[in-house]
Structure 1
């Protein structure tokens, strides 16, 4: 089976046909889907989706775009408390986005630090969003870790080789989205060639970033099979082997999901 390690099933894009979207994923061999939290104040909505389907899990966290809007409610205590639910397997998505700068950078950074502290307290992995913030991302993780192990992944990885190597050296995993299938993504595919197979996950980030041949359309979890096939080709393994390895990687990182 394959696992879509990052999608947004609570988004309005899926409201009219969520059952059909989940059913298509199942028919495509997607064994688990993780619906990702971006607003702490909307956590109940994310959790409701996860509780509706046996094969959907979720996270709790605040996207850097919402760091300012949700700053007051984004406390370590709030994250830890919500993470106790059996369906919650990770913290995020959190991180830094200096491309859009929708929240002041100091608030993005502090919110990110709070997620890292919650990760250290709970042992749950971080789901990290980083865009045009390569140097600050791992610096902040290392500062908060202070020598302690932190589990996590860089979601929708599309940054440069230096960040990839630094994250891998720290023990993080890289999650690959439909971007890896795009014609312009030759540099990313070159990086992926050198990433160990046991440190790769695949995702859709649905409803965004649909892979070839669906680029420009609404993405959905079933399409992760196309991303996985591309990654398999880059790594020189069969799609079946890529599915097996990435599934093992997922349950090793998100060990609460395997409990």
Structure 2
């Protein structure tokens, strides 16, 4: 058993490629010291299955939301459905995964139409948001800065961080946390390495985003929550800290942001 206490602040174990061996996967995350996980939601039809996983794994909490690449799942009653799901289960600790992705899709107006009501819902319910932002820092910042000017900007995390140090500073100024995934272990991810060195101690999280983005040396394989230990290890190396320090800080930060057990 690991002596570390880690929180995987963003995972997707509801995906079919965990169906066959989820008991073994959970045993491995417990042995690696993962004391809590936050399961992100990409669209509402996942919610019953994610809730069933939370029943099965008491250390799990989850979010409800619609991913920017899943805008086709947004209907006129989606906001009400998300509100009800969040109010029905105290284990729903965040709204998301929401955001903007201009890497894969260029439908910015459509994505904004799905993003805005979710940001409003997070403020209404006083829940943090989990933000997916890819090749879209400028419009995302503009959106959040306008909300902050009106006193209506939610708190939250920039998950799977891949932006520049300058972009990171702008999100930090809005009160956001920055979460590092397996990409921080990739040798060529120098911009992400710079961010990991620079982020304040009280504002970073670690995550797997599994089953995607397995860290080195498992790159290209299925990722899983136990591998968050490799993310913490690499962040520690970049920051000149011990892995114990990084585990302690990132765990305290995740508990603070998501009110985790």
The alignment yields a C-alpha RMSD, in angstroms, of: 1.3
Find the counterpart in structure 2 of residue 135 from structure 1: 138
Contact 1:113 1:144 in 2 (8 A): no
Q: Structure 1 length normalisation: TM-score?
A: 0.95
Label 1:207 to 1:105 Cα distance change in 2 as closer, same or farther (>3 A).
same
Match of 2:32 among 28, 33, 49: 28
Match of 1:224 among 221, 228, 250: 228
Give 1:33 deviation, angstroms: 1.1
* Aligned counterparts of 1:158 and 1:239: Cα–Cα separation in 2: 21
1:153 pairs with 2:157: yes
Contact 1:4 1:202 in 2 (8 A): yes
Give 1:73 deviation, angstroms: 3.9
May I ask how many residue pairs the two structures share in their alignment?
Answer: 255
Find the counterpart in structure 2 of residue 113 from structure 1: 116
* Aligned counterparts of 1:42 and 1:192: Cα–Cα separation in 2: 32
Find the counterpart in structure 2 of residue 83 from structure 1: 86
* Aligned counterparts of 2:73 and 2:152: Cα–Cα separation in 1: 30
1:1-259 aligned within 5 A: 1-75=5-79, 77-84=80-87, 85-101=89-105, 104-145=107-148, 146-255=150-259, 257-258=260-261
Q: Where in structure 1 do 4 or more consecutive aligned residues deviate above 3 Å?
A: none
Give 1:144 deviation, angstroms: 3.2
* Aligned counterparts of 1:71 and 1:16: Cα–Cα separation in 2: 33
- Bigger CA drift: 132-141 or 224-233? 132-141
1:184-212 CA distance string (max 9 Å, x none): 11121112211101100000000000001
Contact 2:163 2:191 in 1 (8 A): no
Label 1:106 to 1:74 Cα distance change in 2 as closer, same or farther (>3 A).
farther
SS in 1 for 2:10: strand
Flag structure 2 segments of 5+ consecutive residues without an equivalent. Answer: none
SS in 2 for 1:68: helix
Give 1:47 deviation, angstroms: 1.2
Give 1:74 deviation, angstroms: 2.7
